[in-house]
Amino acid sequence: MTHVELAGLKKSYDGKKNVINQVDLQLQQGEFFVLVGPSGCGKSTILRMIAGLEQISGGDLFVNGKRMNDAPPNKRDLSMVFQNYALYPHLNVEQNITFGLHTKKISREEQKRRCLEAADMLGLSDYLKRKPRELSGGQRQRVALARAIVTQSPLCLMDEPLSNLDAKLRTRMRSEIRQIQRKLGITMIYVTHDQTEAMTMADRMMILHDGESMQIGKPLDIYNHPANTFVATFIGSPAMNVMEADVSPNGIKLSPHCILSNPMKGNLKTANKNVQIGIRPEHILFSAPEQADAVAEIVNTEVLGTETLLTFTLDNTKEQWIARWNGQWQFSVGDRIPVRFDLDTIHLFSKDNGRILWAANDGQPKQAAREVLR
Amino acid sequence: MILAKRISLYTVLVVCAAFMMFPIFYAFSISFMEGGEVLGGQLLPSSLSLDNYVEVFQKVPLLTYLVNSFATSAIVMVGQLLVSSLAAFAFVFMKFKGRDFLFFLFISTMMIPWEATMVPNFMTVQNLGWTNSYIGLTVPFFALAFGTFLLRQHFKTIPKELYEASQVAGISRFRFFWNVILPVSRSSLITLGIYSFLTNWNMYLWPLLVTNTESARTVQIGLKQLQTQEIASDWGIVMAGVVIVILPTLLLLFAGQKKLQKGLTQGAIK
């Protein structure tokens, strides 16, 4: 069932320039949806429009099929978690969690029960009498979360809730939030600038850029089938290599000495055009010299333990590529190494507008987990 | 070297403190003296007699004045806190056209010396028939540009998200103001409260204008009365009156200072 629908949503502050342009989106009940994009792309604005904290300049917002453009925030039946948690500094944890519940005509006993339940779920039971300033960042985060949970609203909005936490805690909270969302079956709209958060948490996600929706879909679909160069480089870390190339029926020319065979097999639509080739770092492989497509000159290596990131150039061109290899590889700057490009995974993008022209893979993971288990 | 520096520094401080405190100390000292001792130029009283204090209460209705001063100061303090905080809340948390211009206009009234508005104020109060009453002594001071400015600056440091969170929770604007903004801004409110209480306590010209009966007058006028009446030559009594009048001021300052420090060190929000 559709829970939230945005139809041609627009936002403009001065009446001329749209900061949000024509966003269409349908959210299913119980879905974990992530809005992701670089800072200033308008993701928080969209969230705030859904919450009712920001006027909608154009288009419609429907919640459960009802038009909600002009409803005040408290009539939209939602809860919200803010980036800086927005805890009331003069109230203790318990008062913070139950603050505002009385407006929903909930009895004192019920408030207490819900508060204890939420505190228990988030491990806050021992801190109920403390003030926010006596809590650590992670605990404050949890209080903010508990405040959203006790309202039992079917829709929860989160605006970069983890960005003030350190990396380790962030990873843990990521999984906690996801588990709670699944357990309570609420619809979640989650804003982040962190593509890892988006990839790991989302059922579906929308990538935003300059107020426009770039692509909507499941994380893996987006990873495997980026719709344009922006999405290709934004999702995935390190980013996809996107380089200019000449495509002709004979092959794809990356540099004077590196010409890949044309994988399009008769599909000559893009032939002779200046295009951009996109290939993910993990699809540039170490190769035996006789099978190599090119010789890479190492510019930098980053050994991360389980994997190694190699920055290299081809034929003394300026463009720097990144490859990701499993394991620990020690190279010195200037080493020349034969590499091979996995032609089954390359993407070709238009040089004019960055849109995808052709992709080699069908996007499915090569081996589904279920098949392995069988 | 450091010791010498410290000694000289403390010497300067002690001299300055003595210089500042001497009039108060001398007034306090005189309040225990008899007439002859004062004229003899003595610095300390020969005996601690409370006669002057008893006499000052008998000669002028000092108790009535004290009550009047205390009541008007308290009313003005509460009124100013209410009006200023409500105005400051509107200037920070409510969006409306011309808000910043209006605030600028509001602030610009600080440039007008209040003596300039005294005559129109007096005529208004007189026409309303508010002379010789607490209303006339207090209401004209409820709206205070300085207080609004002070509280606005503090309210601006309160994260906007607190307001938004309460909007999402469905808390009414006034409830948010009352239950969140006021408790969070306690330190600024105390500062403003002390300021307005003391300002009003020390006010002389306005009470002189709008009151002419003993039952409505305040202490500052009482002091002047002591000086001008025939007891003026009896400095012991005058100084006893002065000590009684500055006592509440000092007490409030000492008590308030502690509260103030507590409020200020309470810690930031995030």
Cβ atoms of residues A94 and A146 within 8 Å: no
CA pair distance A372, A369, nearest whole angstrom: 5
Please give the residue of chain B at the shortest CA–CA distance from A81.
Answer: B165
Q: Can you tell me the distance from the alpha carbon of A41 to that of A206, in angstroms, rounded to the nearest whole number?
A: 12
- Do the Cβ atoms of A248 and A275 come closer than 8 Å? no
The chain B residue lying nearest A151, using CA atoms, is: B169
Quick: pLDDT tens for A63-82: 999 999 999 998 899 999 99
- Report the pLDDT averaged over residues A283-303: 89
Q: Pick B167's closest partner by Cβ from A73, A88, A101.
A: A73
Q: Which residues contact B171 (CB under 8 A, 6 or more apart)?
A: A99, A100, A103, B179
Report how far residue A259's alpha carbon sits from residue B226's, in angstroms, rounded to the nearest whole number: 107
With beta carbons less than 8 A apart as the criterion, state whether B157 and B181 touch.
Answer: no
- Measured between beta carbons, the chain B residues lying within 8 angstroms of A54 are none
Residues in chain B within 8 Å Cβ distance of A52: 167-168
CB contact under 8 A, A73 and B184: no
- Residue A113 confidence class, pLDDT cut points 50, 70, 90: very high
The list of chain B residues with pLDDT below 50 reads: 263-270
Residue of B158, B168, B187 to mutate for A, most A C-beta atoms under 10 A: B168
Q: In whole numbers, what is the pLDDT of chain A averaged over residues?
A: 88
Residue whose tokens read 């024509």:
A22
Q: Note whether B161 contacts A86, CB cutoff 8 Å.
A: yes
User: Chain B partners of A79 at a C-beta cutoff of 8 Å?
Assistant: 168
Instruction: Give the model's pLDDT for residue A270.
Output: 52
Mark yes or no for CB contact A90/B267 under 8 Å.
Answer: no
The answer to whether the beta carbons of residues A155 and A48 sit under 8 Å apart is no
Q: Which has more pLDDT, A305 or B264?
A: A305
User: Residue B115: its pLDDT value, please?
Assistant: 84
Q: Do B170 and A99 touch (CB under 8 A)?
A: no
* Highest CATH level, class, for B61-228: mainly alpha
Please name the amino acid found at residue A168.
K
* Contacts with A154 (C-beta within 8 Å, 6 or more apart), sequence order: A3, A29, A77, A78, A186, A187
Encode pLDDT of A225-268 as tens digits: 999 999 999 998 899 999 888 877 777 888 877 878 776 665 55
How far apart CA B152 and CA B99 sit, in angstroms, is 13
Q: Looking at CA atoms only, how far is residue B99 from chain A in angstroms? A: 17
Secondary-structure breakdown of chain B: helix, strand, coil percentages, each rounded to the nearest 5: 80, 0, 20
Bridge partners of A359, per DSSP, are: A347
What pLDDT is stored for residue A250 in this prediction?
74
The rounded percent of chain A whose pLDDT value lies above 90 is: 54
A20–chain B nearest CA distance, Å: 21
Q: Is the pLDDT of residue A271 over 90?
A: no
- The answer to whether A51 contacts chain B (CB < 8 Å) is yes
Contact: B169, A100; criterion CB under 8 Å: yes
Beta-carbon pairs below 8 A across chains A and B? 60
Interface of B with A (CB under 8 A): 159, 161-162, 164-171, 180, 183-184, 186, 267-270
| Inter-chain residue contact A80 with B164, CB threshold 8 Å | yes
CB contact under 8 A, B167 and A82: no
Contact A61, A54 (CB under 8 A): no
Q: Are B236 and B160 in contact (CB under 8 A)?
A: no
Closest CA to A240 of A341, A334, A367: A341
Chain B contact present for A74, CB below 8 A: yes
pLDDT in tens, B55-89: 888 888 888 899 999 999 999 999 999 999 999 99
Nearest-Cα residue of chain A relative to residue B162 = A86
Whether A74 and B183 lie within 8 Å, measured CB to CB: no
Q: Is B167 exposed, middle or buried (0-12, 13-18, 19+ CB in 10 A)?
A: buried
- pLDDT of amino acid A122: 87
What is the set of domains in chain A, with CATH numbers?
2-230 (3.40.50.300), 231-373 (2.40.50.140)
* Separation CA A159–CA A193 (nearest Å): 10
Instruction: Give the closest of A53, A89, A90 to B167, CB-based.
Output: A53
Tell me how close the Cα of B266 comes to any Cα of chain A, in angstroms: 10
Within 8 A of B165 by CB-CB distance, chain A residues are: 80, 82, 86, 147
| A90 touching B (Cβ < 8 Å) | yes
Q: A273 falls in which pLDDT band (50, 70, 90)? A: low
Which pLDDT does position B230 carry in this prediction? 59
Residues in chain B: 270
Locate the domains of chain B by residue range.
Answer: 61-228
Answer yes or no: are the C-beta atoms of A8 and A59 closer than 8 Å.
yes
Chain B residues touching residue A86 (CB < 8 angstroms): 159, 161-162, 164-165
Q: Which two tokens stand for residue A161?
A: 């809730």
| Model confidence band, residue A367 (pLDDT cutoffs 50, 70, 90) | low
Q: Which residue of B has its CA nearest to A97?
A: B169
Suggest the residue from A75, A80, A88, A191 to mutate for an interface test with chain B (most B CBs closer than 10 A): A88
Query: Chain B neighbours among A 142-181 (CB < 8 Å)?
Result: 147, 151
Residue bearing the bigger pLDDT, A270 or A218: A218
